């Protein structure tokens, strides 16, 4: 079983691979999100929030190999339409599943590119995806269901968004608790 300290050390190693330099203060701010599920690190996410104000937010997201961030959406709040976020892949590959009809429904040979975590399949309803590789990005519209999974080597993603209110996120799986 991976400890919190192991997860932080792995996150730092992934960020270092990308050449992302952190201050000691930032290293201490790394969050390990297990979403209250018992299968971390299969389901989970490691992140660092640089800034989060009512105007904008910037984060680094780290996914271990094949790690999955569960399906969720960012609903409207405080007279906003909800969080709009741009994911920019810095290293590795990430499959971003989004409720967006402009995206492909499946890959060229019709085989699934990745699978939701075993035992949780019912909570993953988005079937359309985009594969992001280093240097590619995609913007998820406010209040849009999405989930994402790293490729075989893991992934580092920079997230740029409007204000982030993780406490308001609505997950498809009602058992999820958004706690670090």
pLDDT in tens, 60-104: 999 999 999 999 999 999 999 999 999 999 999 999 999 988 876
Q: Supply the pLDDT for residue 113.
A: 75
Those residues with Cβ within 8 angstroms of residue 111's Cβ, 6 or more apart along the chain or in another chain: none
pLDDT at res. 103? 79
Q: Does some domain include residue 108?
A: yes
Average pLDDT in the 162-172 region? 94
Judged on CB neighbours under 10 Å (0-12, 13-18, 19+), 174 is exposed
- By residue range, what is the domain housing residue 9? 4-171
Count of CB atoms situated within 10 Å of the CB of 110? 7
Q: How many domains does the chain have?
A: 1
- The sign of the dihedral angle between the CA atoms of 31, 37, 41, 45 is negative
Q: What is the mean pLDDT of the chain?
A: 92
Quote the percentage of the chain above a pLDDT of 70: 93
Residue 70 lies in a domain: yes
- pLDDT band at residue 110 under the 50/70/90 scheme: low
Output the pLDDT for position 178: 74
- Does a structural domain hold residue 50? yes
Neighbours of 21 (CB within 10 A): 8
- Residue 176 domain flag: no
Among the residue ranges 7-21, 50-64, 101-115, the one predicted with the least confidence is 101-115
CB 133, CB 154: distance < 8 Å: no
37 domain residue, yes or no: yes
DSSP H or E segment with residue 4:
helix 4-17
Asked if residue 121 is part of any domain, the answer here is: yes
In a domain, 178, yes or no: no
**Is the model's pLDDT at 108 over the cut of 60?**
no
Cβ pair 64, 150 in contact under 8 A: yes
Q: What is the CATH number of the domain that holds 79?
A: 2.60.120.10
Whole-Å CA distances, 51 to 29, 101, 114: 11, 31, 32
55 part of a folded domain: yes
Looking at the chain, the whole-number percentage of residues with pLDDT higher than 90 is 85
Return the pLDDT at 148. 98
């Amino acid at each position: 079983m991976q400890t919190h300290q192991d997860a932080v050390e792995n996150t730092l190693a992934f960020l270092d691979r990308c050449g992302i330099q952190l201050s000691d203060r930032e290293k201490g701010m790394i969050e390990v999100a297990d979403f209250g599920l018992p299968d971390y690190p299969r389901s989970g996410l490691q992140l660092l929030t640089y800034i989060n104000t009512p105007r904008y937010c910037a984060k680094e997201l780290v996914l271990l190999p094949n790690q999955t961030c569960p399906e969720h959406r960012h609903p409207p709040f405080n007279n906003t339409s909800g969080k709009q976020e741009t994911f920019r892949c810095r290293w590795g590959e990430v499959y971003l599943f989004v409720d967006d009809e402009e995206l492909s429904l499946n890959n060229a040979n019709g085989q699934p590119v990745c699978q939701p975590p075993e035992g949780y399949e019912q909570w993953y309803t988005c079937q359309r995806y985009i594969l992001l590789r280093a240097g590619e990005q995609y913007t998820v519209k406010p209040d849009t269901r999405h989930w994402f999974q790293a490729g075989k080597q893991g992934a580092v993603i920079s997230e740029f968004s409007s204000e982030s209110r993780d406490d308001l996120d609505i997950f498809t799986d009602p058992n999820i608790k958004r706690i670090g």
